[in-house]
A and B are shown apart, each in its own frame.
Chain A
Amino acid sequence: MHQIETVKDLMAATFGIESDRIGAQTAQFDIVEWDSVGHLNLMLSLEQTFGVTLDVEQMTQLTSVPAILQYLEAACRPQ
């Protein structure tokens, strides 16, 4: 499964919405369910699923699908 599909599934499960509401350019302001607690839960899901640790600065930046994918691409790249 491509990473974007994994991220879309995570977001759909976290926000309790259908994954077809999430596109490649979706941002926080596009989805009413992506509120403050939803964002926090999404960050926790990303940490659990991808084995990353997010600091608070990163949490403030990961507010769109492109930003999340860009972060994951860098963080999960083989060393």
Chain B
Amino acid sequence: MPSAMTYDAFPAPDGPLRYALIPWDSETFGFPFIELRCAGVDHELAAQHLPALLESLDARSQRPMLVLTKIPVAATRLAELLTACGFYPVETAVEPHMALSRFRSVVERPAGGMTLRDAREADMPRLVELARGSFRADRLHVDANLPSDKADERFVRWVINGVRDGDMVFCYDDARGKTIGFYHVRATASGTVDLSLAALDRAYQKLGIGLLMYQAVLLECRNRGFSLAETHVTVHNLDVLNLFARLGFQFRNPTLTLHRYSS
């Protein structure tokens, strides 16, 4: 779902802080979602401009409004400044990554007769069903200020748009042809795939089937010529972190996401 956004400078035209409206989340939730970029900005400059920027957004924007920002976990002074300005932490995430040339199957003989295939338009109802019930640990579901049905809707739109935009969306089917999971994968930089969104039917979780699905997706990406796989995972989701560790991924860029909700 994410595509390039245009960031405005604050103060314009070339101020140190940048912000942009997130169109897909604003549309889904029905109020403005704004992403603020302040990581890497000199602390004194950030401290000087951040309150004025937020005041300006508060004055100009409709309510409610959500401003979010992502910063390195180690940027504790910046986190303190953001907290003083009304932000609160909602997610710590890391980026699993792996060179696919190094990837080796963890399970050599797949059990259970499952198959991986490209999703079709006809799969949409089942994909929607899986997307609607699968996500609970992400920052949008854990933020009590946000309606969880809208957070569900965001992931439903994500997978629908993925299929319609021609991204790689894989269905994982059991031996009878029932789709028990999906994986949305986006080609990003040359030779790189972003393992964007995955869901597995709750009835099939904690049984190793997720591992088989992830493994099948990685093998397929390698077969299609991709050399690097990367993604990001909230540290709330220990099952998925352990799964990536078992598959041989390494982890980088621990990031803290903060929200500021104005009602």
Task: Enumerate the 4 nearest inter-chain pairs by beta-carbon distance, A residue then B residue, closest first.
Answer: A40-B208, A56-B112, A56-B174, A36-B208
The A interface, classified by DSSP as helix, strand, loop or mixed, is helix
Contact of A79 with B by CB under 8 A: no
Q: Given contacts A41-B208, A54-B112, A60-B203, are A36 and B174 in contact (CB under 8 A)?
A: no
Whether the pair B107, A57 counts as a contact (CB closer than 8 A) is: no
Whether the pair B180, A40 counts as a contact (CB closer than 8 A) is: no
Q: Which residues of B contact A (CB under 8 A)?
A: 106-107, 109, 111-114, 174-176, 180, 203-212, 239, 242-243, 246
Instruction: Show 9 A/B contacts (Cβ-Cβ < 8 Å), sorted by A.
Output: A36-B207, A36-B210, A40-B212, A44-B107, A44-B111, A54-B111, A55-B175, A56-B180, A58-B112
Q: Please name 8 further chain A to chain B contacts, defined as beta carbons within 8 Å, in addition to the given A36-B206, A37-B208, sorted by A numbering.
A: A35-B206, A36-B239, A36-B243, A37-B106, A40-B107, A56-B175, A58-B112, A60-B203
* Shortest distance between the CB of B164 and any CB in chain A (Å): 29
Q: Which residues of B contact A57 (CB under 8 A)?
A: 174
Whether the pair A56, B206 counts as a contact (CB closer than 8 A) is: no
Q: Which residues of A contact B (CB under 8 A)?
A: 28, 35-41, 43-44, 47, 53-60, 63
- Among B106, B107, B209, B239, point to the contact of A59 (Cβ < 8 A): B209
Q: Which residues of B contact A43 (CB under 8 A)?
A: 111-112, 208
**A44, closest chain B residue (CB):** B111
CA distance in complex: A18, B109 (Å): 26
* Shortest distance between the CB of B166 and any CB in chain A (Å): 29
CA distance in complex: A57, B106 (Å): 22
- Among B205, B209, B243, point to the contact of A56 (Cβ < 8 A): B209
Q: Given contacts A47-B111, A55-B113, A55-B174, are A40 and B211 in contact (CB under 8 A)?
A: yes
CA distance in complex: A55, B178 (Å): 12
Q: Which residues of A contact B109 (CB under 8 A)?
A: 44
Q: Which residues of A contact B204 (CB under 8 A)?
A: 56, 60
Q: Which residues of B contact A60 (CB under 8 A)?
A: 203-204, 207
CA distance in complex: A53, B206 (Å): 20
**B112, closest chain A residue (CB):** A56
**B239, closest chain A residue (CB):** A36
CA distance in complex: A56, B201 (Å): 12
Q: Which residues of B contact A39 (CB under 8 A)?
A: 206-208
* Shortest distance between the CB of B237 and any CB in chain A (Å): 13
Q: Given contacts A36-B239, A44-B107, are A59 and B112 in contact (CB under 8 A)?
A: yes
**A35, closest chain B residue (CB):** B206
- Among B203, B207, B239, B242, point to the contact of A40 (Cβ < 8 A): B207
CA distance in complex: A77, B261 (Å): 63
Q: Which residues of B contact A38 (CB under 8 A)?
A: 208
Q: Which residues of A contact B111 (CB under 8 A)?
A: 40, 43-44, 47, 54, 59
* Shortest distance between the CB of B216 and any CB in chain A (Å): 13
